[in-house]
Amino acid sequence: MKLHALVEDAEVARVAIEGGATVVQLRLKDISTYLVRERGVPVQALCRDAGVTFVVNDDVEAAVALGADGVHLGRYDEGAERALAAGLLLGLSAASVDEAVDAERRGGAYVGAGPVWETPSKPDADPAIGLDGLRAICGAVSVPVVAIGGIDASNAAECIRAGAAGVAVIRAATEARALREAIDAAL
């Protein structure tokens, strides 16, 4: 769970995997399940060949069709029960301790906590929870916590020291090697 790279295509996935990503999450917004499946095939193949966990964002049916290892659902997304019934690794987002506890109760194998810092990748994100909010979430659940939001090589280690099992990155996915080194040094 050290480094989740959120990607939109196979090329970024390849760079992230070569840099040490341990999880690749296919993050395609506002497109059909059919297109997620179509664009996910080469990403899934790269992950399978590299032995990297492959997760689909927000779309349980695409995750099942692609033979993904898991699915990550946002705080208001439906499908947790379907994902668990299909045997998928379930990641759930949380921006507070209460949401994290609820995510664990609902069967989440990990919690995506954040945004830790403001991020241009998601302009409609909730206010940043900061390291104190991340620390509180990590202390409230027994499942691994993956920090997200404004994370790069300069601050990833702070998230690990706050209790996160790993970090998730969008903009910094192409900087996976530097991120992985920062994470490994903090562990």
Choose the catalytic residue: 2, 93, 135, 180.
Answer: 93
Nearest to 103 by CA among 70, 134, 65, 76: 76
Residue, of 85 and 176, whose pLDDT is higher: 85
Contact indicator for 147, 167 with CB cutoff of 8 Å: yes
Contact indicator for 168, 2 with CB cutoff of 8 Å: no
- Please give the backbone phi and psi of residue 112, each rounded to the nearest 5 degrees, phi first: -90, 110
Q: Which two tokens stand for residue 164?
A: 């996160």
Percent of the chain with pLDDT over 70: 98
Using CA atoms, how far apart are residues 47 and 27, in angstroms rounded to an integer? Answer: 14
Contact indicator for 114, 129 with CB cutoff of 8 Å: yes
Is 27 catalytic? The answer is yes
Q: Which amino acid is at 95?
A: A
Choose the catalytic residue: 2, 27, 37, 135.
Answer: 27
Choose the catalytic residue: 14, 82, 122, 177.
Answer: 122
What number is the average pLDDT over the span 71-79? 94
pLDDT band at 122 (very low <50, low <70, confident <90, very high): low
Is 14 catalytic? The answer is no
Write down the pTM of the prediction. 0.94
Burial-class residue 44 by CB neighbours within 10 Å (0-12, 13-18, 19+).
buried
**What digits encode the pLDDT tens for the residues 34-73?**
999 999 999 999 999 999 999 999 999 999 999 999 999 9
Is 32 catalytic? The answer is no
